[in-house]
Amino acid sequence: MNEEIIELFRLASKFFFKKYKKTGGSQGQLAKEFGVTQTYLSSVMNGSRSASFELYNQIAEKLYGPLDKFITAGRNIKEGRDPLEADKHKEEDSIERLMAQLTYYVMDYKRLQKKLSEQKIFYETIIENLQSGVVVMDKEDIVLFANKHMEKMSGIAPDKIIGTSPYDPQKHSRDTEMGFFAKEYKKARKLLIPVFYEKIPVKHPDEKVAYNSGWVIPLLKDNKFNGMICTLRDTTLTQTLSDLFIQSLQQCPDGIVVVQQDAGDDAPTAYFANRAFLEIFDLAELNPKPDSTPFLEVIEIMKKKIKNAAEWEEVEQDAFENKRDKASCTIKMKNGKKYEWESKLLINDLKKHIGRFATVSEV
């Protein structure tokens, strides 16, 4: 504040503090409330020292009211008028009006700043307490944030992850392999769309291998890449159980095939086939992998090995189209062998059809 305003503030402070003192108040109480020393507060109120705009506003609000009206009272005192007299001749560009505008802008800014700070704390609290790892990269692909669950998952403190990059091999963390999802990261960065990844192995400092799944989500600004949010969930137990289950199916002497069909009109996909099934129908070269082989393609190859192919195909077509709980047929192979084919409907917890499970046993 300039010298004139400081003088008007001093006059108003002297006048209103006398009133405040009569109510039992003291400078010591004010100083404690404002978080300053009494000596400093006294020097500000008597005009010998300047202070922050916030402190001037706090003093005015506590002793009287808005800072611009507080300064107006000081001007009235200086010009011999009643301190509380309204200034009927105040000009639009007067110090008091400018002070009122400045007070509004500063306090509104502080209000917004406080609100933003509270929102920041609110969302940080949510992210920090998620039971999934969260990593945020800037537009240069450098990690600038990692939540505390990342340390629980990897054994690496967040401050050791910050500053590394899964995109630049030269900036990978020395403590763990952060390039395990580089392929998905590059894909999301190139296409600027969220990419889901699963069952990706990562080796920890203790040499243990964990499997992670999650999302790589690009942040955009003006439709251009501006950073990345990556989520990680430890799916090691799920993957371990899946591996054990698959290995168990591989040891089964009967042929087994799992066919996936997400919706009634979707073409079924050969999701899994064990070794016995591949050998029975001479499908070793095909070796169906998840979400990769249309079941209709598998059927065409199988039909070449089956003598009564038309009969078997009709049974399975009816089972798929009408979602039969169970369908069976005796398959006569061209090599002279016979097998009992039995397929069952697969439904999920929501009672929705998701495919069929078939076994092939030699008769």
Please check whether residue 343 is in contact with residue 299, taking contact to mean a CB–CB distance below 8 angstroms.
no
Q: What is the pLDDT of residues 277-307, one digit of tens each?
A: 989 988 876 655 544 667 778 888 889 999 9
Q: Which of 183, 200, 182, 205 is nearest to 236 (CA)?
A: 200
Tokens 């979707």 — which residue? 266
305 touches 334 (CB < 8 A): yes
Q: Which residues of 221-244 are buried (b: 16+ CB within 10 A; e: fewer)?
A: eeeeeebbbbbbbbbbeebeeeee
Give dist(CA 346, CA 238) in Å, integer. Answer: 20
Residue 168 pLDDT class (50, 70, 90 cuts): low
Bridge partners (DSSP) of residue 221 are: 224
**Mean pLDDT confidence for 198-203:** 76
Backbone angles phi, psi at 289, to 5 degrees: -120, 155
Among 362, 298, 294, 355, CA closest to 332:
362
> What is the pLDDT, as a whole number, of residue 84?
85
Q: Name the maximum alpha-carbon separation found in the chain.
A: 122
| Residue pLDDT, tens place only, 228-272 | 998 888 888 888 888 888 888 889 999 999 888 765 566 777 778
Q: How far is CA 114 from the centre of its chain?
A: 23
Answer whether residue 179 shows pLDDT above 90.
no
* CA–CA dist 320, 355 (Å, integer): 8
Question: Helix or strand or coil: residue 14?
Answer: helix
**Is residue 187 within 8 Å of 195, Cβ to Cβ?**
yes
CATH T-level fold of 133-236 = Beta-Lactamase (3.30.450)
What does the pLDDT look like over 54-98, one tens digit per residue? Answer: 888 889 999 998 888 888 888 889 888 888 876 544 544 455 566
Question: Hey, what CATH topology would domain 252-362 get?
Answer: Beta-Lactamase (3.30.450)
Asked if 341 contacts 362 with a C-beta cutoff of 8 angstroms, the reply is no
Mean pLDDT within 150-166? 79
- Please, what is the average pLDDT of the chain? 82
Q: State the first-to-last Cα distance of the chain, in angstroms, to the nearest integer.
A: 100
pLDDT at 29: 92
Q: Which residues contact 360 (CB under 8 A, 6 or more apart)?
A: 254, 255, 256, 257, 276, 277, 280, 331, 339, 340, 341
* pLDDT confidence of residue 335: 92
